[in-house]
Amino acid sequence: MGGGQLGLMMIEAAHKFGVSVTVFENSRSCPASKICDDLIEANFTDLNALSKFREECDVFTIETENVPLASLAYLSEKKALTPNIEAIRIAQNRILEKEFAKSLGIPTVPFVEITASNIEKIEKFLFPAIVKTARFGYDGKGQVTVSRRSELLEKIKNLDYKHYILEKKVPLEMELSLILVRDKLGNMASYPLAENSHEDGILAQSVMPANVHPDIEKLAVSYGEKIARQLDYVGVLTLEFFLSRGELLLNEMAPRPHNSGHQTIDASVTSQFEQQVRICTDLPLGDTTLNYHVKLENILGDLWFLGDNAPPKEPNWHEVTGGVKILKLYGKNEPRIGRKMGHLITILRKR
Ligand code: ADP
Ligand code: MG
């Protein structure tokens, strides 16, 4: 389900094993459409299309968590869905994610769900804060910073109270992500932590392995394994963390391969995408060893708009790569500001 760049790279991995992939996506021009074996062009709620999809395929997975649960339930009635619906349900909603973490004793930033009745009572210590849509946010979209309660009241006037979370804005020493894999038998493995830098809420750069104390790494892996076990998770699972005042806080989780793991294509024995394919097709987990220190930089649509008011222009890739960086483009037909168009990989040194 879904035909974005994560789908594209999953299909590339599937084809290495001769596995055919049908993509379900409502756009013919999505990145994955160029190489998929079949495309079902429909909305995620289109029952006729879902029925055809369910007949045609043997096993289902997602490349976006924003698929209606009812559609996933329909697919998984007859055939395997990786990961399971409960994991996706939690990962769709920041409030559920943080409550779930809390229930397992995994720390998060202080947060509160915004409702019509509690808005006047939100405690002072939570400010300055970030208000986020509970669902559908990505790349920092659907987020506003508020410095005090009066500003919150002002900004929230037009919001639908049911679906917002308010998080304390915490100082960030470092942002980290953990990509973990778990198969149907419960075997687990993980990649080294990635150290992520964001610009305007969008991942700009990610370096693997992160430069952190081994104790932080161990703690992150223990949180990840706890979550995966609790959810009986099968597939690739990503956890985003904040390191704030020495404490490791869970920010959010993604029930799929992640932007901060694209380095694994070029620098690991097995990529995060190949892992998803292996798990879906009952092959054993691949080796998560990272052979190189590696850096990923995202290429945003901004790069097409360098001239003032000029129409978008294809970047000079020789200049962008300096002849040494590995270039990956996702084949999106329209560059837009803030849109992820591709990425660059720099192999830094051997480990
Ligand atoms: P998205 O789903 O858009 O990735 P995130 O919750 O990960 O949403 O927020 C995007 C970025 O905004 C984070 O990677 C971090 O840099 C910053 N951010 C988010 N929440 C907080 C917070 N509570 N305190 C400080 N910075 C935050
Ligand atoms: Mg995030």
**How far is it, in rounded angstroms, from Cα 60 to Cα 36?**
14
Tokens of 62: 């997602």
The whole-model pTM stands at: 0.97
Residue nearest to atom 24 of ligand 1 (CA): 169
Extended beta strands in 209-335, E state: 235-244, 247-254, 292-300, 326-329
Say what the pLDDT of residue 153 is.
81
Is 289 in a helix, a strand, or coil? coil
Helices (H), 231-338: 263-267, 272-280, 317-321
What are the φ and ψ backbone dihedral angles of 152, each rounded to 5 degrees? -60, -45
Residue nearest to atom 21 of ligand 1 (CA): 169
Low-confidence stretches of the chain (pLDDT < 70) are 158-162
| CA-atom Rg of the chain in angstroms | 20
Distance 123 CA to ligand 2 centre (A): 25
Q: Are 327 and 297 in contact (CB under 8 A)?
A: no
Distance 318 CA to ligand 1 centre (A): 33
Residues with CB under 5 Å of ion ligand 2 are 240
What is the number of the ligand 1 atom nearest to the C-alpha of 198?
16
Say what the pLDDT of residue 317 is.
96
Q: Say which residue the tokens 């909603």 belong to.
A: 93
All structural domains of the chain = 5-82 (3.40.50.20), 110-168 (3.30.1490.20), 174-350 (3.30.470.20)
